[in-house]
Amino acid sequence: MPKKCNFIEKLRELGLRPTKQRLNMCEVLFNREKTFHFTINDLVKMISEKMNQKISLATVYNTVHAFEKKGYLKEISIDSHKSYFDTNTSVHHHFFDEETNELIDCDENDIDPINIKKNIAGKKINSVEVLIKVASDNQNQK
Amino acid sequence: MPKKCNFIEKLRELGLRPTKQRLNMCEVLFNREKTFHFTINDLVKMISEKMNQKISLATVYNTVHAFEKKGYLKEISIDSHKSYFDTNTSVHHHFFDEETNELIDCDENDIDPINIKKNIAGKKINSVEVLIKVASDNQNQK
DNA sequence: AACTACATTATAATAATTCTAAACTATTGA
DNA sequence: TCAATAGTTTAGAATTATTATAATGTAGTT
């Protein structure tokens, strides 16, 4: 979703009614310069603490999944216990810092295009995603 | 773990006692030609149905995690609801069929080496994994 | 054989997510 | 403007996946 846009219009385009709760979520998620990575819990906390608005956990689940289905959020799964959502829905890759649990976007220049040489008969490729796990390089400490 | 090997020895090398339950799990997991992808539930079913052996769910969780920790199994996370374990612990990539929920190994020749041009200061790369999601190519149906 | 440390088990506890159904609200159209 | 209605929110219950517990069992050692 474009920055500073009219979220009411955007939600209507998605076929979602612009309720107070959804507008609060849009404000937190899409009204920012950079890509944002978050968990459901992060989002509930931000809305209740930073925005000082009451929202039910079920609504956050519902709305995040609605946004995901409509293509405005993408899920990035790290392992069975760590799953993030990403406001950047373009094809892009990630670094994941295993120590800080931080997910970082790769930009286009960080990684050469992925060249897949094999086709699976009768199948088309829906997505190609690279996850680069990193940690402190203690060898290079001075 | 090598095929047809002495699982008793292998388990001892890992510092794990060769119990009946662990040997059954080794038999199912490692005594086969090809890489095997499975969920915890798959494994419980295979042991109880195919091997006709009783095993508790907790033991399967414990042992899978022990094998994973020792580097004999690798977790492959598809999304927050789909997590597989892989008996192929080498660095390799995967196709995932979103219709059949089947995970398929890429072999070395299926994909060109991934070239990462950006370093994150003070961090070293622990792993690089590519996940290629595929589905039926209905455009090409005749 | 007996001791000890590790394993297994059923079950309970916890955590994450989804479901339910009642109350609420945005939209529509008379 | 004001129902009617269809979609939304909510608290709490239900479900699912995973981990913890503590009693019992077993492998390895002496």
- Over residues A57-94, the pLDDT tens digits come to 999 999 999 999 999 999 999 998 899 999 999 889 99
Higher pLDDT pick, A6 / B85: B85
Q: What is the mean pLDDT of residues A4-32?
A: 90
Give CA–CA dist A91/A71, Å, rounded: 12
Q: Which residues are B94's β-sheet partners?
A: B105, B131
Does any strand D atom come closer than 7 Å to the Cβ of A44? no
Domain boundaries, chain B: 7-140
- Chain A contact set for B96 (CB, 8 A): none
- Over residues B87-133, the pLDDT tens digits come to 999 989 999 999 999 999 998 889 999 999 988 989 999 999 999 99
Identify the CATH number of the domain defined by range A7-140: 1.10.10.10
Provide the edge-to-edge strand list for the sheet that holds B94-97.
A102-105, A94-97, A123-136, B123-136, B94-97, B102-105
Position A32 pLDDT exceeds 50: yes
Q: What is the mean pLDDT of residues A17-38?
A: 94
- pLDDT bucket at A142, cuts 50 / 70 / 90: very low
Q: Which residues contact A62 (CB under 8 A, 6 or more apart)?
A: none
| Torsion over CA: A47, A53, A56, A58 (sign) | negative
Q: What is the mean pLDDT of residues B16-24?
A: 96
Closest CA–CA distance from residue B114 to any residue of chain A (Å): 7
Give CA–CA dist A38/B78, Å, rounded: 18
Whole-angstrom Cα Rg for chain A: 18
Contact B120 A129 (CB under 8 A): no
What's the longest Cα–Cα distance across chain A? 57
- Over residues A91-113, the pLDDT tens digits come to 899 999 999 999 999 988 899 99
- Residues B126, A135: contact at Cβ < 8 Å? yes
SS3 B90: coil
Specify the DSSP element, H or E, that contains A95.
strand A94-97
Average of per-residue pLDDT values in chain A: 90
Residue nearest to nucleotide D16 (CA to C1'): B81
The end-to-end CA distance of chain B, in Å, is 44
* CA B81 / C1′ C13 distance in Å: 22
Check residue B85 and give its pLDDT: 97
Q: Which residues are B74's β-sheet partners?
A: B86
Contact B128 A125 (CB under 8 A): no
Check residue B142 and give its pLDDT: 40
For chain A, give me the number of helices (H) and strands (E)?
A: 4, 6
Structure tokens at B74: 């690798």
Specify the DSSP element, H or E, that contains B124.
strand B123-136
pLDDT over 70 for what percent of chain A? Answer: 94
Position A50 pLDDT exceeds 60: yes
Interface A-B: count of C-beta contacts within 8 A = 122
User: Residues by CB within 7 Å of nucleic chain C, which ones?
Assistant: A 12, 17-20, 40-41, 57-58, 61, 65, 83; B 15-17, 19-22, 54-59, 62-63, 80-81
Q: Write out which nucleotides of chain C lie closer than 7 A to a protein Cβ.
A: 6-11, 16-20, 25-27
* CA A16 / C1′ C25 distance in Å: 13
- Over residues B41-82, the pLDDT tens digits come to 999 999 999 999 999 999 999 999 999 999 999 999 999 889
